[in-house]
Chain A
């Protein structure tokens, strides 16, 4: 199946590499958006009572932005689909949670440490799983997810399948959402900015070369193995950090929160809907799906049909728009400037 000449969602060269800045309006939009998001917690007088709800939705949205953008690094740029990426999410959550329980340090401070632990774990796993490619790699990521899930289910130190309760955050009920919101904002911005920098680096170019044709990339002198392992483990950082904040915001940790395959499914879906291998794509996908989920839960309630909806959307996108919103628009030359973040 080597038909690289065809349009390829993962490997479409986005821009000539000489052009290192995004389109002007794209940059303006990103800056304005960031400022608005940063000011949102101060808008209580404007929003009134539902303010905490708005902040909660905002935090969830930002979390998914971070998860999808990070997944995009390995699944989009490099073309290696990981269906077990929420392993890092759980590891980050547990790492910070355990640090809080045993050393009393707040996850709001230790989330970078959780990210680093996830990176180290990703590096060790990558050494093994990235010895293979294509379907076998994907399979190994699923096996990884189930394996780690099983370990945490039975690891008494981490509470087993009952999980751990964390001490309540020391904030008043009224303001409790604000620190979590800001932490997630930092993580989301960090992950998108990181994706942007990678896209414009030699490293990113190497990853795209691997996605297009790994053998040719190797022949061209790229140390593909090192690059892949680097992409895999670096993509774990913001995922682990997001897991740390999310776990603390729930005030309890349980394997079933982190290690279910539905979370991996969402990460993949958001990235694909928005457009794999683009900077704006995962952000667009995350916003679309979080909004859709909010609507569908309020309309139909939260039940088993939610994953049916996820599956149906995924099927439609794969069959009709495999390049996602940003990818398809760009291919047709209709990408509005404000969505052009590459």
Chain B
């Protein structure tokens, strides 16, 4: 029994971080209908930033959040303005965003591997190998701290979306872009801002995973596949779905990994994706698919 609780706790702790990673992706899809295949590679890029802050000036990965978040926020504004207004009028916008961000992902991945090589990296703060022992339960400090930070950030995101005027505008745009525009929301500005926030969340995730999982440039494909499976499972564009999906699947993955070995844990996410497509193609919390 203790063993089962132990595995569930480890899964839940990682689930918090998965939820943070998926929330940025969901926000971008919800507000702008952008499927950002480059989300994973930006997370990895942020991990590199955290890594160099750690190995250079010796900053703790948590401290690096104050750099990665604003840097990636600004990068997000820039990326959005550079690429997306141009394809806004495209008849197949959704598909265009996938291909465009796919191209971006290839470029960033190539640059990362050119400059930083394909070696595995990770930051190694002292708590990365320590743990709290509560009775028989073993709670790794790194996972715990990362999970708490994720929850704080998700909570801040929730507060922003539900209690600020800009947040209302973001949610209005998520619900109905045209109607939001009619009631006076500057949709272009809100979209740029949301993309920036999504990227800031990617930046934060990058700092956090820098000490949780060893990374190398090519590893972002596995991440993006996991995250995308997650948000399809939750229902594309549903923040609640993404978070529930992340927690649930992270626990499931922890059990799979416990039973069959860690190699198979990504399989949980892909398997769940195919299962959900079989029984409920629109995802757990997804709206009924609209035409177009």
Binding site for B on A (CB under 8 A): 1-11, 79, 81, 83, 128-129, 131-136, 138-140, 142-147, 150, 153-154, 215, 261-262, 265, 268, 272, 303-308, 310-312, 314-315, 318-319, 322
Contacts and interface: CB of A to CB of B under 8 A. Distances in A.
A272 to B, nearest CB: 7
Nearest to B235: A136
Contacts of A304: 110-111, 113-114, 217
A212 B2 CA distance: 56
A143 B95 contact: no
A319 B106 contact: no
B107 A6 contact: no
Contacts of B224: 142
Contacts of A145: 225
Interface of B: 29, 33, 35, 37, 83, 86-87, 89-96, 98-100, 102-107, 109-111, 113-114, 217, 221-222, 224-225, 228-229, 232, 236, 263-264, 266-267, 269-271, 273-274, 277-278, 281-283, 289, 291-292
Nearest to A134: B94
B91 A8 contact: yes
Contacts of A303: 114
Contacts of B266: 146, 150
Contact of A268 (B93, B99, B110, B282): B99
Given A1-B33, A4-B91, A314 B106 contact: yes
Given A81-B98, A138-B95, A6 B89 contact: yes
Contact of A311 (B33, B104, B236): B104
A1 B111 CA distance: 33
A312 B105 CA distance: 10
Contacts of A312: 103, 107
Given A135-B236, A138-B35, A322 B90 contact: yes
A29 B71 CA distance: 54
Interface of chain A, main secondary structure: helix
B94 A139 contact: no
9 contacts: A4-B91, A6-B90, A10-B92, A133-B289, A143-B274, A146-B270, A304-B110, A307-B107, A318-B87
A11 B96 CA distance: 14
A1 to B, nearest CB: 5
A236 B130 CA distance: 50
Counting chain B CB atoms within 10 Å of each CB, which of A134, A144, A272 scores highest?
A134
Residue from A136, A142, A153 whose CB has the most chain B CB atoms within 10 Å: A136
Given A132-B232, A136-B283, A143-B269, 8 more contacts: A1-B92, A79-B95, A135-B236, A265-B106, A304-B217, A311-B105, A314-B103, A314-B106
B225 A318 contact: no
A163 B152 CA distance: 45
A11 B281 CA distance: 25
Nearest to B115: A304
Contact of B291 (A79, A215, A314): A215
B244 to A, nearest CB: 18
